[in-house]
Chain A
Amino acid sequence: MLQEAALTETKTETHPVTGADLLLRALEKENVEVIFGYPGGAVLPLYDKLYHSEILHVLPRHEQGGIHAAEGYARITGKPGVVIATSGPGATNIVTGLADAMMDSLPLIVFTGQVATGVIGSDAFQEADILGITTPITKYNYQVRSIEDIPRIVKEAFYIASTGRPGPVLIDIPKDIAAGISDQPEEEKEVNLPGYQPTLKPNYLQIRKLTEAVSRSKKPVILAGAGVLHGRASKELKEYAEQQQIPVIHTLLGLGGFPADHPLFIGMAGMHGCYAANMGLTECDLLINIGARFDDRLTGNLQHFAPHATVAHIDIDPAEIGKNVPTSIPIVADAKEALEQLILQDGKPPAHKEWMETILRWQEEYPYFYDKESGRLKPQKVMEMLHSKTEGNAIVVTDVGQHQMWAAQYYRFNKADRWVTSGGLGTMGFGFPASIGAQLADPEACVLAICGDGGFQMSTQELAVIQEMNLPVKIIIFNNMALGMVRQWQEIFYESRFSHSKIPVQPSFVKLAEAYGIKGYVIQSEEEAEELLDEVLHNREPVLIDFRVDPDENVYPMIAPGKGLHEMAGVKP
């Protein structure tokens, strides 16, 4: 055996390598900076090689935390987040994160260990059919069947995850493949995927059609979704909107794609969107959707959605066009390329003075509101303070629920890629771990991890990571002693029968933070908040702040399920 190895060495001038070596080399080739991973039996060969690797490895305290952190990293950098989990339970623990990334189009490369090839299918210790489990919630998945395939598979996986509509790709590696030795020299192979060729360039005729529709329209709006962010097209969106003077509405996930303080920005639309945006979508005669997927939380009842509008839809995923809303101008393209083409057309801007005045009137008459005189600590006020004290420059990462909606409403984003939230899947427990990835993606940024008391308790164990790596994440808990959004729905739709949504028995979050060596504070009033935020937001230390906010506060405006966008409740005090 030794002799054989020596022979190969002279012949090819490479050492025989293990599968794990090939894997790490492939990751280095893709310029991977950080891995979120959790070791275990089936990935031991890989971890042995990681021992000497220069790639930063982050050890979450639960695999789910690891994959959410990778999602946060991917959302901020636009690069795939890399995750490693062991076979069986390690692999099944990342399932929620995969589903979340699939829904919100986040690029991830997830490696799972697998039992050795010989025992696959025998219900071996820590075996799970992770390919079967994850097929519907990944963009693609692989099981490595031979060592020599590793470089090609990793290369393909990165290509698939990060091009077209991004998404998670899983690579399942049996233990014997990772440990096995190959003496074949590595061959550089081009990615060859005949079944995967995303359309990036828009169809010229459709671009013309849209340009003409814009010129003719009296009430145009742009609905910009996360596709603008994934396509890095914020600059082009601004240029196009300004050129044609079209007002812009954002989806929840699209926030930051267009500057919130821009005069053409109307606001966020949807179930808890602002009045002007929802009315804008209802009354418009031309709706230009750029990279949004007409999610039901955005459209409300489809029968009442944009009833008078000609719908144009720019999306890199052809399956999204016409899926929920009939579309007369379909444009399959990358958002950036489509916008560049539209700008080049330099069409005649629409004559829509009245429309702009109407929108302005809606905005002035029906802004977001809350009771400023109640004497209670209002969550909206806390959001406003966070916004002003970070000058709108923080990276805001949220969990799911009421606090998420308040963050979306009151934190005004003027820059792209400062907003990380779980939109499609609505994953509680996402926010705090995702903030770890966001902070690693932009170490200099002020990262606010905004959580509810419910969601935070789904991922408290990750405090250890913040402590270990001294990440200056600011954990903001909107503590209303309840699962606030569930409580709100029970109040409104179930006659205030608060079935299991109140959680009055809580740990001391301050002591919990202190147990991990992190400073913690309880805030009960605006004055206290004012003082503390000035002190802690600008230092380089992690902190946890338990804001005891008004437990009876609800998120408004609100569209009840089954209602149209124009049937908002709670638009006025």
Chain B
Amino acid sequence: MKRVICLTVMNRPGVLNRITNLFSKRNFNIESISVGLSEHEGMSRITCVVHVEDSSASEQITKQLNKQIDVIKVTDITDQSIVARELALIKVQAVPYTRNEIYSLIEPFRASVIDVSKDSMTVQITGESDKVEAFIELIKPYGIKELARTGTTAFPRGTQRTSQQSKSYSIV
């Protein structure tokens, strides 16, 4: 199962190394990891997406991360109502006669074209991983020359629904 784990860490040298090291030491699989500054000075936020076998494995990840001296807070936010976004840059082959077709795909996904050259164009798309995934699949036949994804970054919504049963969703 896929889990989204949010970490607040002290912004100290080597902290990212400690986190990634822990994942390999404990044999956990990371799908993506994204790091950046947080609202507090001297602290960073890390969002990890991991694949685990069961809930005890995800509990173990959370506990091991929490044990790190530089880690202030760990939350497994998978079951909360969250906003999760990923950004991807896709350089796709675009000759004049396919260009319009690609534009028509971009539109419904609310992606945007940020660079165009003679035989290619670069598309930027943000959204939940599923959406990014779907868009990449759609654009693949045209020939992807380069692809860069940031990995998911996420946090809980300002208002949490009382029932956590239904799958969280977001309106793009």
Contact = CB atoms under 8 A, between A and B. Distances in A.
Interface of A: 131-132, 135-136, 139-140, 143, 145, 160, 193-196, 317-319, 322-323, 326
A196 B71 CA distance: 8
Nearest to A196: B69
A135 B17 CA distance: 8
19 contacts: A132-B17, A135-B18, A135-B21, A136-B21, A139-B69, A143-B13, A193-B69, A194-B72, A195-B10, A195-B70, A318-B63, A318-B67, A319-B60, A319-B63, A319-B64, A319-B66, A319-B67, A322-B56, A326-B56
Contacts of A193: 69
Given A132-B17, A194-B10, A323-B60, 20 more contacts: A131-B14, A135-B17, A135-B18, A135-B21, A139-B69, A160-B69, A194-B72, A195-B68, A195-B69, A195-B70, A196-B69, A317-B67, A318-B63, A318-B67, A319-B64, A319-B66, A319-B67, A322-B56, A322-B59, A326-B56
A195 B63 contact: no
- Of the listed residues A136, A193, A326, the one surrounded by the most CB atoms of chain B closer than 10 A to its CB is A136
B118 interface: no
B25 interface: yes
Contacts of A145: 13
Contacts of B25: 136
Interface in B28-87: 56, 59-60, 63-64, 66-72
Contacts of A140: 69
A19 B63 CA distance: 37
Nearest to B24: A136
B38 to A, nearest CB: 13
Contacts, number: 39
Contacts of A326: 56
Can you list the 7 inter-chain pairs with the closest CB atoms, starting with the nearest?
A: A319-B63, A196-B69, A136-B25, A140-B69, A195-B72, A135-B21, A195-B71
Contacts of B70: 195
Contacts of A131: 14
A269 to B, nearest CB: 24
A425 to B, nearest CB: 14
A139 B60 CA distance: 17
A153 to B, nearest CB: 12
A258 B18 CA distance: 37
A194 B8 CA distance: 11
A140 B56 CA distance: 26
Contacts of A194: 10, 72
B60 A322 contact: yes
Contacts of B72: 194-195
Contacts of B56: 322, 326
B16 to A, nearest CB: 11
Contacts of B71: 195
Contacts of B17: 132, 135
Nearest to B65: A319
A140 B18 CA distance: 9
Interface in B80-139: none
A482 B56 CA distance: 43
A132 B13 CA distance: 11
Contacts of B66: 318-319
A174 B71 CA distance: 26
A193 B60 CA distance: 23
- Of the listed residues B59, B63, B70, B72, the one surrounded by the most CB atoms of chain A closer than 10 A to its CB is B63
B37 to A, nearest CB: 17
Given A140-B69, A193-B69, A195-B72, A135 B60 contact: no
A145 B10 CA distance: 17
A129 to B, nearest CB: 10
Contacts of A143: 13
A133 to B, nearest CB: 11
B44 to A, nearest CB: 12
A326 B10 CA distance: 32
B106 to A, nearest CB: 43
A160 B59 CA distance: 24
Contacts of A319: 60, 63-64, 66-67
Given A319-B60, A319-B64, A322-B59, A135 B14 contact: yes
A182 to B, nearest CB: 21
Contacts of A318: 63, 66-67
A195 B69 CA distance: 5
Interface in B4-28: 9-10, 13-14, 17-18, 21-22, 25
Contacts of B14: 131, 135
Nearest to A141: B14
Contacts of A135: 14, 17-18, 21
A140 B69 CA distance: 7
A332 to B, nearest CB: 10
A199 to B, nearest CB: 11
B94 to A, nearest CB: 42
Nearest to B64: A319
Contacts of B67: 317-319
A209 B57 CA distance: 25
A56 B9 CA distance: 39
A415 to B, nearest CB: 32
Contacts of A132: 17
Nearest to A132: B17
A387 to B, nearest CB: 39
B52 to A, nearest CB: 14
Nearest to A131: B14
A326 B21 CA distance: 26
A318 B67 CA distance: 8
A145 B13 CA distance: 10
A194 B22 CA distance: 20
A381 B97 CA distance: 91
Contacts of A195: 9-10, 68-72
Contacts of A322: 56, 59-60
A122 to B, nearest CB: 18
Nearest to B74: A195
A431 to B, nearest CB: 27
- Of the listed residues B10, B13, B18, B67, the one surrounded by the most CB atoms of chain A closer than 10 A to its CB is B67
B70 to A, nearest CB: 6
A155 to B, nearest CB: 14
B59 to A, nearest CB: 7
A305 to B, nearest CB: 15
Contacts of B69: 139-140, 160, 193, 195-196
B26 to A, nearest CB: 9
